[in-house]
Amino acid sequence: MTFKIEMTEKKAQPVLSIRTRTAFENLPNTIGESYTKIMQYLTEIGEEPADAPFTAYYNMDMKDLDVELGFPVQKVLSEKDEIQLREVPAGKYVSCIYKGPYAGMEQPYNKMFKWISDNGYEQKGVYYEYYYNSPQDVPESELLTKIEIPLK
């Protein structure tokens, strides 16, 4: 499979998110619950997401994942309970759009890691995945995920 890998310069993006720890097998439920809480809050305050929901992975320990789950927003908004105002930092990012099942995402990641190494960059160790549709709405083969890796 061919993956189009691009490098972009991004501005800081405010987000409303929940940062938590979970085991890999609990991740789908954790994601669903967090997105639901944030969307309910956005509705409550009359706001909408600025882009697709994301998950940021701060580690890859499958027994104890450190993840941030949220939505980009148009402007600085108030926090509520565990919903925090944070930002996806400005800087250089390598990105790739992946179409297919989540179980196959190792392929684009490996291509991106190779691209980063081949082009003399270093990654910062956080991985962002933006989900443009969901398994409840489309077949797994049609899932669209944008992967972004910030560079040092």
The enclosing domain of 116 has a CATH number of 3.20.80.10
* Whether pLDDT at 80 is above 90: yes
pLDDT (tens digit, 9 = 90+) per residue, 33-77?
999 999 999 999 999 999 999 999 999 898 999 999 999 999 999
**Quick one: which H or E segment has residue 146?**
strand 144-150
Q: Which residues, in sequence order, are CB contacts of 29 under 8 Å at separation 6+?
A: none
pLDDT at 135: 86
The answer to whether the Cα torsion of 138, 73, 78, 27 is positive or negative is positive
If one counts the domains in the chain, the total is 1
Tell me how far the alpha carbon of residue 41 is from its chain's centroid: 19
Average pLDDT over residues 85-96: 96
Could you tell me the pLDDT band of residue 98, with boundaries at 50, 70 and 90? very high
In Å, how far from its chain's centre is CA 86? 13
pLDDT of residue 113 exceeding 90: yes
Whether pLDDT at 1 is above 70? no
Residue 76: name the closest of 68, 84, 67, 85 by CA.
Answer: 85
Predicted TM-score of the model (pTM):
0.93
For 118, phi then psi, to 5°, come to: -60, -25
Tell me the residue range of the domain where 68 lies.
Answer: 5-150
pLDDT at 101: 93
